[in-house]
């Protein structure tokens, strides 16, 4: 690829936070890096078109889940590997979000966990591996407790809840009456006590880390300005190749986010922009307004350029009523891909620089690639609303076949980030019957870090130096492909009344602005616009139909 190996930035710098207008969607996705929910929760965010998977690990150790990652651990690992990996494929733009900020928070969360795991590794080595037989016995006890607690038999479940205290009493009796002397007796006694001491120390470390992670999770969703700290992305000297590679990876990610090429995946719509919910086509014959004379020759690009200028001033209106924010007007090169394509590849060659198709190539595609195979040109006007939660994109394309001019306007809408990512941390509680008034209930607060979670963290910690091993032992998240942070977990906007209204209200003024600019160019070039005017008026009425449709699903 033409962009490979290119340094996209002027030098070492600290990555910046995302823009304020995209804060809600960006922070919602970034908060997933700090979550302690079960990893299976990610499956709740699967959309109709894009589905994540949780790949189960192959660990057979006690047939337990002690190596299984939680949501934050798996999400951070998957996003870092997919978006910064040296052999990664092309990414889909994340409109309405700043993907670099999300990746930075994943790196920051991994850094915090690494610091925690370093401490836990020392505790596990000192109190566990040195007294390995005792550690194995206690892990078996925890595993038995989990097994009994998960059964449907109430008696076995109650036994599982009381198992650890029972084992503790038995261990105490065993220590007192141990029929051994000398070093062996001391080791056996230490073997039973040391893992318990290590567990209490590990619990303190895990609770401190959990409080910090939850504070960051809460802060991101509350707009508290949580900053991702990743000093490893700022090289201090030319010999720090890993830091330099990470810095360039982040810069490459931002450059690809600004690419002007997108992909049309059939019924899935334009990847990153959402499905096409409406389509309005103005197609009439080109006839000179003066009989016996030919109209002036013009190209599709002449119309597109006039439409571009007209769309740039959409925020201006005759009344001071707020109205449109300043739109983003972009020339897009759209490449067709299969509905179930597992990957995409961006255009490359001498006509592409830093993921951007050059202006002369855009103009050539607009004028000449209107029929048959190849990429197509679209002019897009995009509104980022609801702080990145709603992306409205209107795409315009102009084609001329024989004597027929067609101006097509299509509407695309990408809804809010799935509600899973906008849920704040809640205290862990359990509803139980009151002791005396058993017909009444009360809520009791559970420990922030449960005993089994302490064991899981302590067992995982020594293996975190080599993440692929943990992927093998505990499993990981398989991200949907082609992958883009924003569209992978987006909901449909039509369930939100105001978002749906915004999407449909944008269509009418955009359509009229497009037609107005096009008709002005046609008149200037001596084309009879009577039929175009009539058709434009019909479409102005049709666009007010308040029902969005699946315009990419053809009944054929």
Which residues are within 8 A (CB) of 461 and not within 5 positions of it... i.e. 6 or more apart? Answer: 116, 117, 118, 120, 121, 124
User: Does 443 fall in a domain?
Assistant: no
Average pLDDT over the chain, rounded to whole? Answer: 82
Residue spans of beta strands (DSSP E) within 289-389: 328-336, 352-353, 356-357, 376-385
Q: Which band of pLDDT confidence, cut at 50, 70 and 90, is reported for residue 451? A: confident
User: Does 425 fall in a domain?
Assistant: no
Average pLDDT of the segment spanning 106-116: 93
Do 231 and 360 reside in the same domain of the chain? no
Closest CA to 496 of 337, 353, 386, 364: 386
Q: What is the pTM of this model?
A: 0.84
Do 326 and 469 reside in the same domain of the chain? no
pLDDT of 9 above 70: no
User: Does 427 fall in a domain?
Assistant: no
- The residue with greater pLDDT, 149 or 69, is 69
Do 57 and 90 reside in the same domain of the chain? yes
Average pLDDT of the segment spanning 145-168: 61
Q: Which band of pLDDT confidence, cut at 50, 70 and 90, is reported for residue 1? A: very low
At 15 the pLDDT is 40
Do 151 and 296 reside in the same domain of the chain? no
Pairing relationship of beta strands 429-433 and 441-445 according to DSSP bridges = antiparallel
Give ∠ CA 280-285-286 in degrees, rounded to 5. Answer: 115
Measured CA to CA, the distance from residue 445 to residue 293 in angstroms comes to 86
Q: Which two tokens stand for residue 449?
A: 């870090």
Q: Which of 158, 175, 195 is the last residue of a domain?
A: 195
279-324: pLDDT as tens digits: 888 888 888 888 778 878 888 999 999 999 999 988 887 766 777 8
Do 91 and 46 reside in the same domain of the chain? yes
At 74 the pLDDT is 92
User: Does 422 fall in a domain?
Assistant: no
368-404: pLDDT as tens digits: 888 888 889 999 999 998 888 999 999 999 998 888 8
Q: Among 59-68, 231-240, 486-495, which stretch is predicted with the lowest mean pLDDT? A: 59-68
At 158 the pLDDT is 61
Do 239 and 293 reside in the same domain of the chain? no
Q: Among 2-16, 91-105, 497-511, which stretch is predicted with the lowest mean pLDDT? A: 2-16
Q: Among 150-154, 267-271, 326-330, 534-538, which stretch is predicted with the lowest mean pLDDT? A: 150-154
Q: Which band of pLDDT confidence, cut at 50, 70 and 90, is reported for residue 2? A: very low
Measured CA to CA, the distance from residue 340 to residue 49 in angstroms comes to 9
pLDDT of 116 above 90: yes
pLDDT of 10 above 60: no
At 243 the pLDDT is 81
Q: Among 79-83, 188-192, 445-449, 473-477, which stretch is predicted with the lowest mean pLDDT? A: 188-192
pLDDT of 341 above 60: yes
User: Does 421 fall in a domain?
Assistant: no
Do 173 and 313 reside in the same domain of the chain? no
Measured CA to CA, the distance from residue 515 to residue 408 in angstroms comes to 10
Q: Which band of pLDDT confidence, cut at 50, 70 and 90, is reported for residue 412? A: very high
**Would you say 40 and 54 are in contact if contact means Cβ atoms under 8 Å apart?**
yes
Q: Which of 154, 169, 195 is the last residue of a domain?
A: 195
pLDDT of 360 above 60: yes
Pairing relationship of beta strands 261-264 and 328-336 according to DSSP bridges = parallel
**Would you say 486 and 375 are in contact if contact means Cβ atoms under 8 Å apart?**
no
Measured CA to CA, the distance from residue 49 to residue 485 in angstroms comes to 14
At 146 the pLDDT is 64
Do 176 and 325 reside in the same domain of the chain? no
pLDDT of 41 above 70: yes
Do 277 and 138 reside in the same domain of the chain? no
Do 72 and 102 reside in the same domain of the chain? yes
Average pLDDT of the segment spanning 157-167: 60
Q: Which band of pLDDT confidence, cut at 50, 70 and 90, is reported for residue 61? A: low
Counting the structural domains of the chain, the total is: 3
- The residue with greater pLDDT, 453 or 546, is 453
Average pLDDT of the segment spanning 82-94: 88
pLDDT of 447 above 90: no
Q: Which of 195, 216, 244 is the last residue of a domain?
A: 195
Do 319 and 352 reside in the same domain of the chain? yes
User: Does 2 fall in a domain?
Assistant: no
Q: Which band of pLDDT confidence, cut at 50, 70 and 90, is reported for residue 18? A: very low
Domain ranges, residue 77? 20-124+200-255+452-488
Residue carrying structure tokens 């809520």: 443
At 177 the pLDDT is 61
Do 250 and 271 reside in the same domain of the chain? no
- Percent above pLDDT 90 for the chain: 28
User: Does 4 fall in a domain?
Assistant: no
At 88 the pLDDT is 86
User: Does 343 fall in a domain?
Assistant: yes
At 319 the pLDDT is 67
Pairing relationship of beta strands 352-353 and 356-357 according to DSSP bridges = antiparallel
Closest CA to 314 of 504, 501, 514, 502: 514
Average pLDDT of the segment spanning 49-68: 71
pLDDT of 481 above 80: yes
């Amino acid at each position: 690829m033409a962009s490979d190996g290119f340094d996209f930035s002027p030098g070492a710098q600290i990555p910046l936070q995302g823009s304020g207008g995209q804060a809600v969607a960006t922070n919602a996705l970034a908060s997933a890096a700090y979550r302690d929910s079960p990893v299976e929760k990610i499956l709740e965010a699967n959309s109709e078109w894009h589905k994540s998977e949780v790949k189960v690990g192959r660990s057979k150790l006690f047939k337990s889940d002690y190596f299984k990652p939680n949501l934050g651990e798996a999400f951070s690992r998957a996003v870092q590997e997919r978006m910064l990996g040296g052999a990664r494929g092309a990414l889909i733009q994340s409109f309405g979000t700043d993907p670099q900020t999300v990746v930075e928070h994943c790196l920051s969360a991994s850094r915090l966990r690494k610091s925690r795991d370093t401490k836990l590794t020392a505790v596990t080595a000192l109190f566990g591996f040195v007294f390995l037989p005792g550690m194995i016995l206690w892990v078996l006890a925890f595993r038995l407790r989990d097994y009994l607690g998960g059964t449907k038999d109430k008696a076995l479940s109650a036994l599982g809840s009381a198992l650890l205290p029972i084992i503790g009493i038995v261990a105490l009796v065993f220590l007192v009456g141990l029929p051994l002397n000398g070093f062996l007796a001391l080791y056996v006694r230490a073997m039973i006590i040391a893992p318990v001491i290590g567990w209490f120390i590990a619990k303190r470390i895990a609770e401190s880390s959990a409080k910090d992670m939850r504070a960051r999770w809460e802060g991101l969703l509350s707009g508290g300005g949580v900053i991702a700290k990743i000093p490893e992305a700022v090289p201090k000297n030319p010999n720090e190749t890993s830091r330099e590679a990470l810095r360039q990876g982040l810069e490459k990610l931002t450059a690809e986010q600004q690419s002007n090429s997108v992909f049309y995946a059939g019924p899935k719509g334009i990847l990153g922009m959402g499905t096409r919910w409406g389509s309005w086509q103005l197609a009439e014959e080109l006839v000179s307004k003066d009989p016996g004379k030919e109209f002036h020759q013009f190209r599709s690009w002449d119309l597109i350029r006039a439409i571009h200028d007209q769309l740039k001033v959409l925020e201006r209106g005759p009344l001071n009523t707020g109205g449109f924010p300043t739109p983003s007007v972009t020339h897009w090169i759209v490449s067709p891909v299969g509905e179930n394509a597992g990957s995409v590849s961006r255009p490359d060659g001498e006509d592409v620089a830093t993921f951007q198709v050059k202006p002369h190539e855009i103009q050539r595609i607009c004028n000449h690639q209107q029929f048959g195979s190849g990429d197509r040109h679209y002019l897009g006007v995009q509104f980022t609303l609801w702080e990145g939660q709603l992306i409205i994109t209107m795409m315009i394309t102009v084609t001329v076949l024989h004597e027929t001019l067609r101006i097509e306007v299509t509407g695309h809408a990408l809804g809010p980030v799935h509600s899973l990512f906008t849920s704040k941390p809640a205290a862990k509680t359990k509803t139980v019957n009151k002791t005396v008034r058993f017909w009444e209930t009360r809520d009791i607060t559970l420990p922030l870090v449960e005993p089994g979670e302490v064991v899981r963290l302590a067992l995982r910690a020594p293996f975190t130096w080599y993440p692929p091993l943990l992927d093998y032992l505990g499993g990981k998240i398989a991200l949907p492909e082609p992958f883009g942070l924003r569209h992978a977990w987006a909901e449909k906007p039509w369930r939100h009344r105001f978002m749906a209204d915004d999407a449909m209200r944008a269509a009418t003024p955009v359509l009229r602005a497009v037609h107005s600019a096009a008709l002005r160019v046609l008149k200037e070039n001596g084309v009879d616009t009577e039929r175009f005017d009539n058709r434009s008026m019909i479409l102005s009425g049709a666009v007010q139909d308040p029902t969005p449709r699946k315009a990419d699903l053809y009944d054929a």
